[in-house]
Structure 1
Amino acid sequence: MAGAELSSVQRFVLITLMIKGSAVPNTYLRNVAGISLSRPYRDDLRDRGFIAVTEKPLVLELTEKGWGQAIEELGGSVPPRAGAAGGALYIALGFLRSLLDHLEVAPSELFTLRFAASDATLAPAQAEPSTTTRLDVASAIREAYGTVAQSGELLPLTQLRTALKSQIDATLVRMNREPGVQIIPNSQQGDLTAEDRAAAVRIGNQDRHLISITS
């Protein structure tokens, strides 16, 4: 395979890694981007020096050479058997290449751009929960209690937590239909701990372990 022209899937992987601008789990490529990169093609990208691969969990990242190849794809022609979506992608990439050239912005600058929170904003770990958040949690606890116990009854917290999990699961199922929310299985099933499996939510016929929320 070495020396042969890159396949459409390999090109799509390089483009995705470039756009993300950082290391990307294989589960993201498969479950979110919809790109299934088989091991021979993944090894080929690694052997050509385009990507670095780490195992357990499987994570891919562009090398400097890979960045160069991905940037070439911005002005590249539509690869064979790319399909309608691939054709539309390369038209968009060509426009983006022209725009970057016009603005005199390097692709690496664009795709590694990160928006930092204001210095005046507390980091998530430091931020105090808002009054609304505290009330929402308290309301959820009261509602869960009411589903399994009578008023004034002493209820083991283990049962309360089980009832809360049922409510959380139902909410996660609803949220999964919302724009910007992805709840997906972890394709590396062997890496799952007992806690991971216990925390999974059942959606359709799959246990799902990972959540991504885009604001």
Structure 2
Amino acid sequence: MADPHLTLPERSALLALMTLIHEATNADLDNEVGFKIKKEERERLVELGYIKAWQTGRYHAWVHELTDEGWRRCGDDLGSPTPEGAPKATRLQYALTRRFAAFMARSDLRVADIFVLGDEPVADIADRIRAAYTELAAAPGAGVSLTRLRRAFADVARSDLDAALLQLALEPKVRLNPEFNQKTLDAADRAAALRTGGEDVHLLSIEQS
């Protein structure tokens, strides 16, 4: 079934989250790109399965994060035609993203190659993560603590490594999981944790292809 039509605010919300890469509150979005996700857009995008949203903190701030489907929709939507009868602001956004999509196609690039937090392409870091996992894992699919994994990436900024881990976790055979027995975690394990989906994850597992 074809993807449903998105309004300009809904499409803008997805593109804003793609630009920030990681989960973001409205304050984060406003600070970075001058945009906020309103209730109507949030509820519809959650219903469509393009984002996850939850409240956190003392003031119950909304946090938003792209799902796998949301990332796919962003990539597909960059080159989509302008809706018939669209207003000027919508036509401008679609024209710009089509130019961007055309450049990506000519350069053989994906959104994962561009929307990263550092200079090293996420694909290169992901390859290194796979290699490090193979060395550290007791068996394919076994959990490797992020504490041990981070030691192999002393030359990579934490934000870059986190971005690569989150992108890698979009693949069906890759998992980022919390430690079931929280009592086994020490200070180093908690410091090495990665925050995603409203929880801290501590273990990486990659099933054999």
TM-score, normalised to structure 1's length? Answer: 0.47
TM-score, normalised to structure 2's length? Answer: 0.48
